[in-house]
Amino acid sequence: MNTGEPSETLRSVPPAYLDAHWVVGFVDGEGCFFVGINPHPEMSAGYHVLPEFTVVQHQRDVQLLHRLKQFFGCGVVRANHGDRMCYRVRDSEHLRARIMPFFEQHPLRSKKWIDFLKFRKALLMMARGEHLTPEGIQRLRALASTMNTGRER
């Protein structure tokens, strides 16, 4: 019907494979490194520290979030606000063993790199148990307060 039309030569479904550099670019755009610190009477220092790595996406691209989950081999895909879905990693072991080494080897190009460095610092502090002492909590709160500035979550 429309032979020789250049637009017919492109596949309508893009390849499923995610390149590591693609993941970095996508996270530079859509990712978030966050350290939540909330009062919690049952914790020894009175606070619960919850680091999380998230990527939010419109539900029409939820399959990309599932591919990210597969790529990192950890995390969950959950509903976010409204028509948004979210890929999320909260497990500290997974954050330290999978998310952290990946971005150490594949640096983000945006200012999110600074957030990642602080996020990584928080994970290392937690690995040393510093979140279980009042002094450690003070340091973690100071660190977390400087993250994700100039950008909505």
Binding footprint of a copy of itself on the chain (CB under 8 A): 5-7, 10-16, 18-30, 57-58, 60-61, 64, 67, 83, 104, 107-111, 113-114, 117, 120-121, 124, 150-151
Return d(Cα 59, Cα 79) in angstroms, integer.
9
Q: By C-beta, is 19 or 46 nearer to a copy of itself?
A: 19
Residue at 91: amino acid letter: D
Neighbours of 45 (CB within 10 A): 17
DSSP per-residue string spanning 44-61:
TTSEEEEEEEEEEEEGGG
Q: How far is the CB of 42 from a copy of itself (least distance, A)?
A: 29
Q: By C-beta, is 47 or 71 nearer to a copy of itself?
A: 71
Q: How far is the CB of 90 from a copy of itself (least distance, A)?
A: 21
Neighbours of 26 (CB within 10 A): 15
Query: How many residues make up the chain in this entry?
Result: 153
Q: By C-beta, is 46 or 101 nearer to a copy of itself?
A: 101
Q: Do 89 and 65 meet the contact criterion of CB atoms below 8 Å apart?
A: no
Q: How far is the CB of 58 from a copy of itself (least distance, A)?
A: 5
Q: By C-beta, is 12 or 38 nearer to a copy of itself?
A: 12
Q: How far is the CB of 40 from a copy of itself (least distance, A)?
A: 26
Q: By C-beta, is 55 or 137 nearer to a copy of itself?
A: 55
- Strands 47-58 and 84-89, bridge-based pairing: antiparallel
